[in-house]
Structure 1
Amino acid sequence: MATQQRRFNRFARTIAVAVSATALIALSACSAGGGGGGGDSALGFTAAEQVKDSPITVWVDASREPAVEAFKAKYPDIELNVETYDGNASGSGSFQTKISLFDQSGEGWPDVVFSTQNNDASWASKETNGQQAFAAPVNKGWFDKDFLDGFTPGALDPLTVDGTVYGLRNDLAQSVFWYDQTLFDQFGYQIPTTWEEYEALSDKLAAEHPGYILGSVGDAFVGMLVYYWGAQAPVFQLDGNTFSSDTSADNSKKMTELLDHMVANGTLAKESVFSSDFVQKYQGKALGMPGPIWFTGALFQNPDSLNVPAGQLGAATPLHWDGEEIGTGNVGGGTWFASSHTKNLDAVKTLMEFVTSADEFQVEQSGGYPAYASAAEKWIAKQATGGYFVGDFEKTVVDASSQVWTGWGYPSFSAETAYSKVVLPAIAAGDTIESVAAKWQTEMENEAQVQGYTVAK
């Protein structure tokens, strides 16, 4: 309680600072003869003329609706207009498309947006159609340094462009190897620690217990971010404005061969883990699988999904190549963006701080490992002491949070789109990933060129 009280006291202090800044902005606008803007401010962007107590519009996906509901309960005097959208899932581009239309019209922007795509900062930080960048800088005077320093080291890196932070991470999405201890004991198997052991286990499982699985390649989210990122495969890299993809590199080829092998022996499902077909076929038959921390609520503890009983599920060290360091993927996690066009800086700041750090959402209701360190500490303690998990769940998850491979890129297009366009249809048709690897690489390179990146050859 003391920690929570100090945090909300800090909120109050930062709100007071924002009020003072807002007053200066408003005075600047008046002295300039009024109009739509408030002139350059100490916030790192040109703030709109503020409208006291104006409602703020918040876009969230269905999974983040509890966040805004918790905020309403804590701050009933702040009026919200909540709109639910797809969260830009699977790299749909809906967030960017909608903002582009508002940029063209010069009005209508939402005040806060949640996106599942951490790479959105790459475009949201850029001026478009004569409008300043949609995403407001959060580390140039608007948010207190003390608050920003509370995020887990590295959590805000995907949202940092040339030293400026353009959003706040909701949760971290490091992968671990999930395992069903009851099934491992029943079958007499050892939990794998390397990709090589994982593949070897798949052959034993296929031969001795057909119908049981060790994961899925049925959607781009898992295929790209769990497997290829976790394999430290250089298929999606960015250096400045230069994009590169190499599906023929050693780690890329090894992962492609592993996936093709396990699809062929039946231990990797072709169905998406989020599909009803997957649940019907594999509930009770998932021996283990690599996947992000948020699989806890999305799959394993979800009565409409795998619904693994308490006392069976554990989290083991992220899989890695034999002889190489661990380098897990960062499988989503999501980001909150604040609009530079908002007319209520105070309310937006209060909401952004609450949804990313407050116990009412991040500890009590979040299905993932919070990006905010103090909330993460409480969340993991709550999970570990609830009696659901077996093994050293807490240590594994905490360790994995600092083991995300940094070689992955964050350009202005999603890693999922080319995989969905080229790889998934091939798998569904019974073809191998290897047979379309060159085409897949070309598709990623074409997307990069369309977005204005130089493509390394």
Structure 2
Amino acid sequence: MTVTNPSVRQTRVLGKRRSALLAGCVVTVMLSAVACGGAGTGGAKTTKDGFAQVPQKEGALTVWVDSTRLAAAKQYQELHPDVKLDIVTYDGNANGSNYLQTKVQLFNRTGKGWPDVVFSSQNNEVTWAVDAGFAAPLNKGLIPEATLGQFAKGANDVCTVNGTLYCLRNDLSQAVLWYNAPLLKKFGYSVPTTWEEYGQLGKKVAKEHPGYLVGDAGDSFTPEIYLWASKCGANDITGAKSVSVNTTSENCTKMAELMDVLIKNKSMSISGVFSTDFAKNKADKVLLMPGPAWFGGAVFKDGLKTPAGQIAAAPMPQWKGDSSPSTGNVGGGTWLVSQHSAHLKAATDFLKWVTTDNAYQGEKAPGFPAYAPAAEAWLKGQAASGYFASDLSALASASSQVWPGWGSGQFSQEAIWAATVKPGLTEGRTIVSMLPAWQDAIVKHAKSNGYKVSE
């Protein structure tokens, strides 16, 4: 699946050597046009900022974004009318679609078409984008160290390969326990602080208030909320191409068992928070909902249209006796600059603005910013909005509690869960019964992507 772009390591060849190389390109039709003479570069490259840069020129900056980040690109255009943007919307690689990787493979073959800047909803793009010669290094001169140093601790770990930074994290998607404060009070319940209390509350809700929900297990990112928070070792990336997979450990099975009980008594939905069914039939039935930082706006406010003054956030429950608080993470997204960009100054200006400027991250962004100063402004803005029933300090605490034993490999855990476990839930099977099949699917996907697997 990974395409290596030889032009990253190539030096300019003169005279007969260049002619021979070009002749070879004609014969070997499968070689990349970029490798065979710098197609699309418009001239000789200059090594600067840690990579070989194509000649820079005037022209429109091509930015690829998903529908959610479209507002950011448009806002940048409004605030920078002197910069011409060509904004392209795509799926953002949602659910591991691999659209970006597939297109880059095509652009590498044809020697043209690469976007200057691209947003991805996935945190694993550098696992292929570096070898493909697409992602430009950012900490070799393009982005000031003073700027990079203000991102939240560990936020850009998923962007770093052998000490070189190849992308910037857009937002942190740490999971917390969202809850309906007035509804919880009306029913006489307390916010659970342990998973044991959470499970017991789910049983009480099913018995005393049938139809109301304490969670949802219907989305492809379900394991990133529940199993990740439980320290389930299903996805421990231990090296550049190595992963440890164990879905049947105690930390995995006890969370699966808890979820199975709640799914069976219907206090946990399997519809999915973005499904038509959920919005139509369950929007006003959510009592509790473990979920990432962006649930507050994208799910409750915009999706379910929950009225203001109801939704609050609490720390994710922990297992009794666990002295090391942990939570999961759903997405967050990353921004990359292309090594092929002929507009690097404009590209890096856009990148810095979209990840750090309060005009977007502090005031408009739907999720908790990865850039710490913007996160402070964002929290103040959420408090001032009047929408939430309490402050969102739980998000700030959770930002440093994402369990590091769940990595961002080249394969998509969301796609694997959607194909392996989700259909079984629809058929009435338990999560516990599907844990071995889930492990088998992860192992197969990892090996097909060249990973050495430890089970």
With normalisation by structure 1, the TM-score equals 0.89
Structure 1 contact 109–341 (Cα < 8 Å) conserved? yes
Task: Answer yes or no: is 1:114 the counterpart of 2:119.
Answer: yes
SS at match of 1:290: strand
Name which of 44, 55, 73 aligns with 2:50. Answer: 44
Report what 1:346 is aligned to.
Answer: 345
SS at match of 1:405: coil
Deviation of 1:425 (Å): 0.3
Report what 1:6 is aligned to.
Answer: none
Alignment RMSD, CA only? Answer: 1.8
- Amino-acid identity (%): 44
Deviation of 1:385 (Å): 2.6
Paired with 2:89 and 2:231, the residues of 1 have a C-alpha distance of 34
- Which AA in structure 1 matches 2:102? T
Paired with 2:89 and 2:384, the residues of 1 have a C-alpha distance of 33
Structure 2 contact 175–330 (Cα < 8 Å) conserved? yes
Structure 1 contact 58–110 (Cα < 8 Å) conserved? yes
Structure 1 contact 215–288 (Cα < 8 Å) conserved? yes
Task: Answer yes or no: is 1:454 the counterpart of 2:449.
Answer: no
Name which of 425, 428, 436 aligns with 1:427. Answer: 425
Superposed counterparts of 1:133-144, under 5 Å: 133-144=133-144
Structure 1 contact 290–319 (Cα < 8 Å) conserved? no
Report what 1:290 is aligned to.
Answer: 290
Report what 1:364 is aligned to.
Answer: 363
Report what 1:15 is aligned to.
Answer: none
Paired with 1:317 and 1:219, the residues of 2 have a C-alpha distance of 21
Paired with 1:92 and 1:259, the residues of 2 have a C-alpha distance of 27
Paired with 2:123 and 2:100, the residues of 1 have a C-alpha distance of 12
Gaps of 5+ in 2: 1-10, 19-36
- Deviation digits for residues 115-150 of structure 1 (CA, Å, limit 9, x no counterpart): 0000111111213xxxxx211110112111111112
Name which of 312, 320, 323 aligns with 2:321. Answer: 323
SS at match of 1:421: helix
Structure 2 contact 169–335 (Cα < 8 Å) conserved? yes
- Deviation digits for residues 294-316 of structure 1 (CA, Å, limit 9, x no counterpart): 011111111xx222222221110
Report what 1:395 is aligned to.
Answer: 393
- Deviation digits for residues 85-137 of structure 1 (CA, Å, limit 9, x no counterpart): 1110011111111111111222211111110000111111213xxxxx21111
Report what 2:4 is aligned to.
Answer: none
Paired with 1:296 and 1:184, the residues of 2 have a C-alpha distance of 17
Structure 2 contact 129–135 (Cα < 8 Å) conserved? yes
Structure 1 contact 135–339 (Cα < 8 Å) conserved? yes
Structure 2 contact 312–392 (Cα < 8 Å) conserved? no
- Which AA in structure 1 matches 2:66? D
Report what 2:199 is aligned to.
Answer: 199
- Deviation digits for residues 14-44 of structure 1 (CA, Å, limit 9, x no counterpart): xxxxxxxxxxxxxx99x99997354452311
Paired with 1:378 and 1:185, the residues of 2 have a C-alpha distance of 30
More helix by share: 1
- Which AA in structure 2 matches 1:49? P
Superposed counterparts of 1:78-227, under 5 Å: 78-127=83-132, 133-221=133-221, 223-227=222-226
Count of aligned pairs between the two proteins: 419
- Which AA in structure 1 matches 2:304? L
- Deviation digits for residues 163-217 of structure 1 (CA, Å, limit 9, x no counterpart): 1111011111111101111111111111111111111110000000000001111
- Deviation digits for residues 52-108 of structure 1 (CA, Å, limit 9, x no counterpart): x22121111100011011110111111111111111001111111111111122221
Task: Answer yes or no: is 1:377 the counterpart of 2:366.
Answer: no
Structure 1 contact 233–252 (Cα < 8 Å) conserved? yes
- Deviation digits for residues 332-363 of structure 1 (CA, Å, limit 9, x no counterpart): 11111110110011110111011111122112
- Deviation digits for residues 209-266 of structure 1 (CA, Å, limit 9, x no counterpart): 0000011111111x12111111111011111122121111110111111111111010
Structure 2 contact 46–55 (Cα < 8 Å) conserved? no
Structure 2 contact 327–403 (Cα < 8 Å) conserved? yes
Paired with 1:395 and 1:418, the residues of 2 have a C-alpha distance of 33
Paired with 1:380 and 1:345, the residues of 2 have a C-alpha distance of 32
Paired with 1:94 and 1:196, the residues of 2 have a C-alpha distance of 41
**CA separation of 1:448 and 1:213: change in aligned 2, threshold 3 A:** same
With normalisation by structure 2, the TM-score equals 0.89
Paired with 2:265 and 2:250, the residues of 1 have a C-alpha distance of 23
Report what 1:25 is aligned to.
Answer: none
- Which AA in structure 2 matches 1:228? L
Structure 1 contact 381–394 (Cα < 8 Å) conserved? no
Report what 2:305 is aligned to.
Answer: 307
- Which AA in structure 2 matches 1:384? A
Gaps of 5+ in 1: 1-27, 128-132
